[in-house]
Structure 1
Amino acid sequence: MLINTKFLGEVEIKESEILTFEYGLPGFPDYHKFILLALDAELPLVLLQSTEEASLGFVVAFPFAFKQDYVFELSEEDKEDLQIEKEEDVLTYSIMTLKESFKDSTINLMAPVLININKKVGKQIVLQDSKAYPLRFPIQAAIGSAE
């Protein structure tokens, strides 16, 4: 299946790799189908791309590459929505805001994107303790650990 993407142009994907976000993403409730696409093997970044809207794509990264002590609890509702059977089935990503100079970029630690890789479902959650992690965590301090 061919889709158009925000950053990579037209790419071929397998329908079996499409992820369903039942509630969409905050601010984008009408889009439910996404896919993860590699951007660059050298960087810990991937593209979370809508398969329904080419202009809807987000650069995401493993937050642990930028904040090693990143930890949070999932509510029972989130566990149910994500159909979690084993913790290791769930990948955690954070949406990045990229700047012209990569070291000035930020990562959203307040609202992680969780994906159950076995069930092909995802959900972005907003952490209840908004003081625990910022919406725009500067990656500059962590660049050494991400490289």
Structure 2
Amino acid sequence: MLINSKRFGQLDIDETKIITFINGLLGFEHLKKYIILDHPGSDFLKWLQSIDDLDISLPVVDPTAFFPDYSPRISRDDLDTIGIKNIEDAIVLCIITVPSDIQKATINLKAPVILNPACRLADQMIAENSEYKVKHPLTLNEKPEGRCAGC
């Protein structure tokens, strides 16, 4: 399937890699179909590229690359919506925001994207952990410790 993304230009997408979001992303609830793309030259940065609106692409990372102890508590009911029994079976990604001043970059640890890789279903879910913030400071000038597992 050929798409013409605003950010990445023309891409040949394998339709079996399309991820369906049950409720969409916060602020983009009407957009349900996405694909994960690698960021050129980066081992840790990925992009959630909307298939429904090719102008929308959001930067995401495996949060454990920056926060090795990151362990969101997600309700059983939320995990059930995408067919996950244990969060360890999911791919967990967090959306980052990078303003013009890179030193003010933030990561949304409060509402991670939880993906069931077996059936390509996902949703953005609210972590019950009180210590996680929507705009948690993120230092991008240091190399992260890990990579995005399973992307």
Bin of the TM-score, shorter chain as denominator length: 0.7 to 0.9
What is the distance in 1 between the residues matched to 2:110 and 2:74?
13
Q: Read off the aligned partner of 2:72 and give its amino acid letter.
A: F
Kindly tell me: are residues 50 and 119 of structure 1, through their superposed partners in 2, closer, same or farther at Cα, counting changes over 3 Å?
same
Secondary structure in 2 matching 1:48 = strand
What is the distance in 2 between the residues matched to 1:34 and 1:27?
15
4+ residue stretches of structure 1 with deviation over 4 A? 85-88
Residue number in structure 2 paired with 1:113:
113
Residue number in structure 2 paired with 1:67:
67
Residue number in structure 2 paired with 1:17:
17
Runs (5+) with no aligned partner, structure 1? none
Runs (5+) with no aligned partner, structure 2? 146-151
> Does 10-19 or 40-49 show the bigger shift?
40-49
Deviation at 1:66, TM superposition (A): 1.2
State how many pairs are aligned.
145
What is the distance in 2 between the residues matched to 1:135 and 1:112?
9
- Contact 1:105 / 1:139 at 8 angstroms: preserved in 2? yes
Kindly tell me: are residues 100 and 43 of structure 1, through their superposed partners in 2, closer, same or farther at Cα, counting changes over 3 Å?
farther
What is the distance in 2 between the residues matched to 1:87 and 1:97?
24
Residue number in structure 2 paired with 1:135:
134
The within-5 A match list for 1:1-147 is: 1-85=1-85, 87-129=87-129, 131-140=130-139, 143-146=141-144
Q: Which protein is richer in helix relative to its size?
A: 1
Percent identity, aligned pairs only, is: 32
- RMSD of the TM alignment (CA)? 2.0
- Contact 1:6 / 1:49 at 8 angstroms: preserved in 2? no
Taking structure 2 as the reference length, the TM-score comes to 0.85
